[in-house]
A and B are shown apart, each in its own frame.
Chain A
Amino acid sequence: MLQLYQRTAHELHNLLLNKEISAEELNLAIFDRIESVEDKIAAYITLTREKALEQARAVDQQIKNGERIPPLAGIPVAVKDNICTDGILTTAASRMLAGFVPPYSATVVKRLEAAGATLPGKTNLDEFAMGSSTENSAFFPTRNPWDTGRVPGGSSGGSAAAVACGEAICALGSDTGGSIRLPASFCGVVGFKPTYGAVSRYGLIAFASSLDQIGPFSRDVTDCALLLNIICGHDPLDSTSARFDVPDFTRFLVNDIRGMRIGVPEEYMAEGINPGVREVVEKAIALLESLGAFVEYTTLPHTEYALSTYYLIAPAEASSNLARYDGVRYGFRARETSDVMDMFMKTRSQGFGAEVKRRIMLGTYALSAGYYDAYYLKALKVRTLIKEDFDRAFEKYDLLVSPVSPTPAFRCGEKTEDPLEMYMSDICTISVNLAGIPGMSIPCGFVEGMPVGLQLMGRHFDEGTLLRAAYTFEQNTDYHRAFPAL
């Protein structure tokens, strides 16, 4: 018999409706689980037990009053610690923001609250979401529940690990170059990066504004659709959030992909990919074909430039976005400084970790007079070419599939000494951010006992096709039911 912390949100919703459990019991079960495994996983920076229980009791009251409760009411949804929560410590896993308590909540947090979801806590990440393993957290690394000697992926490693091991039912993360999909893949959960503009970024501590997007983690595709229903939609506080008709995403939960045209970009299956991962992914593709999809290999010719393009655009934006952390208004301030410029320099030297500083320097350089045209402007042009690759592909295909990462979760410390090696983990995911299209990771098998994710990529605002393919895959496999033994 499954424990409460192993169930999905939609299953738990039925248990709540049938009064088999109370929301308070559910949340207490989650905190019991946290108590027993958090030592090994370290998914959370901050736990908000009292808040979660209070929210849960409010939901129980609604149930008691015979009110209709929305699908995620009472369900614990963890939030990545780079998403602002009013009155609750929000650090972006940086020493720079140690002690920072925002006076406002992100739009997604307000939407979750309005939907009755409870907040168990704020999850760990690579500092300012810069990294692929959650080892760049200024506080502590998060471990992979499938093998605590391995990384959970990053940067949303805390959210992925929490959902994977039952420390939360669902979670929110953010994805700038793969930060939802990579940890979802490494931890064996569903992760979704929506179309750029589908979800408000208001309250998300910016890393690279033109690439950042908030998205959900869940145990199955149904929960993913339920979360998208809550977080998607126009927000007047975010100029880049799109005005579009948000569908009920659950209507795409159809076990049928007959006639769907699926392309497999050969660049994503090229050498460098772990043979085990290749085998698992090829098997998954074969399954999609056997379920009636039309599948063929295709090409995204500018893929080889994606990584360098990304590492110009993202750091350039980051260098400006992170300029505000200077010790004047909030967060960390260096002691014993001689004047204001000295204070800025010491604060930033001591407050940021090595990877953040590396990217600030890269970005500052790329935007500097005399280099702007050669680096930043050139990168913007290549970004357009990458987008056009996808546009062309989507003339022929409804969906593209690939591995999320060339390897399964790597060992802790394995790549921390070599930033470039670490950057390569995102080779399959960053193009999706550059193009602004939706991308998803679903569990599709195991290699070396570690989960492997299948990446689905779709047209702008065509989240529905991804969900439909993912749901169909899920209905015909059992990978999503696997639970790590801790």
Chain B
Amino acid sequence: MSHYETVIGLEVHVELKTRSKIFCDSTTEFGGEPNTHLCPVCLGLPGVLPVVNKRVVEYAIRAALALNCQIAGFTKFDRKNYYYPDMPKNYQISQYDLPIARHGYLDIEVNNEVRRIGITRLHMEEDTGKLVHQGTITSTPYSLVDYNRAGVPLVEIVSEPDLRSPEEARAFMEKLKTIIQYTGVSDCKMEEGSLRCDANISLRPAGSGQLGTKTEIKNLNSFKALYRALSYEVERQTGILSKGGRILQETRTWDEEKGVTLPLRSKEYAHDYRYFPDPDLVPLVIDPEWVEDIRNSLPELPDARRERYMQEYGLPAYDAGILTSTKELADFFESCLSAYPNPKAVSNWVMGELSRLLNASGMDITACKIKPSQLGSLLQLIDEGTISGKIAKTVFEEMFASGKDPGDIIEEKGLVQISDVNTLMTVVAEVLASNPKSVEDFRSGRERALGFLVGQVMKATRGKANPEMVNRLLKEKLLQEKL
């Protein structure tokens, strides 16, 4: 479209789902009445001291290893100083020049092209509280502050400016989310703020080795917002540059409603953070053996799992990709396989009926009432001819709603397939007798009439008739009487 190349780097914040906060034992639970998940430490009262939660360090290492990072042998915490009322101490404990991890990467695939995106660093820090403005941010007469979130552990992940389009940025975030979720260290729920991102974006003449002037985009609360904001920004910057204008280095905020990025008042945001090592915390020496233990405890990660699904199960890339998109779904799929070892059949059901029902009810797989073994038995019942594929869908819906065993549902509702020739012959005879017109049509060569007659038999048996047998019996009968 243009002769400019887009350069994007992302700064991602991930909330770690440890039970207690990063420097005290207050709960990290989301929600709760404002200012109830607090103690003197996370409220920054005079005289309190932070003590690092070892689990946070473990989770950070876990996430970093999954992102192919190198783990530091020696790391420390620093204070990032700035005044904002959502920060109890007016400094944030973060990591500056010696982060826990550096030099990682992850692979993304956009338009059938795999690209490796560098990860500059991953560091630990504490989250801030939250301001609740009474009115809009510019016109509020006063604001309330909730410190429940203050001190919740975060890792900040900074990518290299390796992304070349809004599509790639979105793919990066999706991939990052999948990987982090696999490691089990975060829910990565963008809507609850446990996954957040800011984007740096600049344009440069295609082929140039230098970076252009960047803008930083904030308030990106969904993948869609990220994609739309960056697309808008590409257009805006292209417009300015192609008219010979200059990009202003600034922080901009995404306005979801208007679909535009707007400058944030840059004066207040021009910070000198005066980082210095936090004297209340001692540097951490990371035991390489501990790192190896964590590495060994990592689950199979999405790329490897997807590859295995293609190789081992012979699934198409698309199916393998969807099935491994969350660890829970992939685990579900594999549990089904141990009950019913036919990957393609299970995949069809998981990606078809199950996904449809999950989407329709807005649930995810973890809330699904159907146990993998139950889906296995259902498929078994189809194979055995106990129910038809069509009835199976009805049974499946009931399983989805109630969590009951398919066998019980079939019994309760009398859904066992009718495969008895005599019973079926009686129904077939009745249907033929009461539909002379269709019989006539069929005999005069209109094959479609057969479909109608099959339907009538199914209807008469409330769908329980074995469709293959009905088909065969009807044909036999029609052809017989023709002779």
- Residue ranges of A at the interface with B (Cβ–Cβ < 8 Å): 82-84, 90, 92, 97, 100, 102-104, 106, 201-206, 208-210, 236-240, 316-317, 319-320, 323-326, 328-330, 340-341, 344, 364, 367-369, 372, 376
Q: Which of A100, A209, A324 contacts B279 (CB 8 A)?
A: A209
A486-B268 Cα distance, complex, nearest whole Å:
57
Out of B46, B85, B275, which one reaches A326, CB within 8 Å? B85
A340 and B143 in contact (CB under 8 A), knowing A210-B279, A320-B276?
Answer: yes
Dominant secondary structure of chain B at its interface with chain A: loop
Further 19 A-B residue pairs, CB within 8 A, beyond A97-B46, A206-B47, A239-B52: A82-B47, A92-B46, A102-B45, A103-B45, A104-B40, A104-B48, A203-B48, A240-B49, A317-B276, A320-B274, A323-B83, A323-B89, A324-B46, A324-B88, A328-B145, A329-B88, A330-B45, A340-B143, A367-B81
B residues contacting the other copy or chain, number (CB 8 A): 30
Q: Which of B45, B49, B145 contacts A238 (CB 8 A)?
A: B49
Residue ID in chain B nearest A202 by CB atoms = B49
B40, B47, B276: residue with the most chain A Cβ atoms closer than 10 Å: B47
- Is the pair B47, A102 in contact by a Cβ cutoff of 8 Å? yes
Query: Which of B40, B272, B274: most chain A CB closer than 10 A?
Result: B274
- Interfacial chain B residues near A237, Cβ < 8 Å: 49, 51
21 residue pairs bridging A and B, Cβ less than 8 Å apart: A82-B47, A83-B47, A84-B45, A84-B47, A103-B40, A104-B40, A106-B47, A205-B47, A206-B46, A237-B49, A238-B51, A239-B52, A239-B281, A240-B279, A317-B276, A320-B274, A323-B91, A324-B89, A326-B85, A344-B83, A364-B274
Q: Tell me, yes or no, whether B44 is within 8 Å of chain A by CB.
A: yes
Give complex CA distance A106, B275 in Å. 28
Known: A320-B276, A323-B90, A364-B274. A204 touches B281 (CB 8 A): no
Which one, A104, A328, A367, contacts B274 given CB within 8 A? A367
CB of B276 within 8 A of CB of A367, answer yes
| CB pair B83 A326 closer than 8 Å | yes
Nearest CB in chain A: distance from B471 CB, A:
76
Q: A201-B49, A204-B47, A240-B280 are in contact. Are A340 and B85 (CB under 8 A)?
A: yes
B274 near A239 with CB under 8 A, answer no
Query: Measured between alpha carbons, how far is A205 from B280 in the docked complex, in Å?
Result: 12
In the assembled complex, the Cα of A84 lies from the Cα of B282 at a distance in Å of 23
- The CA of A368 and the CA of B82, in the complex, are separated in Å by 12
For the complex of A and B, 6 pairs with smallest distance between CB atoms = A323-B90, A209-B279, A367-B274, A210-B279, A205-B46, A203-B47
Residues of chain B touching chain A, judged by Cβ–Cβ distance below 8 Å, are 40, 43-52, 79, 81, 83, 85, 88-91, 143, 145, 268, 272, 274-276, 279-282
For A329, the chain B residues whose CB sits under 8 A away are 43-45, 88
Q: How far is the CA of A205 from the CA of B90 in the complex (A)?
A: 16
Of the listed residues B46, B88, B274, B275, the one surrounded by the most CB atoms of chain A closer than 10 A to its CB is: B46
Minimum Cβ distance to chain A for residue B143 (Å): 7
Decide: A240 and B90 in contact? CB cutoff 8 A: no
- Answer whether A341 and B81 are a contact pair too, CB < 8 Å, given A320-B274, A324-B46: no
A95 and B276 CA atoms in complex are apart in Å by 28
Q: Which residues of B contact A100 (CB under 8 A)?
A: 46
| A326-B90 in contact given A210-B279, A237-B51 (Cβ < 8 Å) | yes
Question: Which residue in A104, A239, A372 is a CB contact (below 8 Å) of B45?
Answer: A104
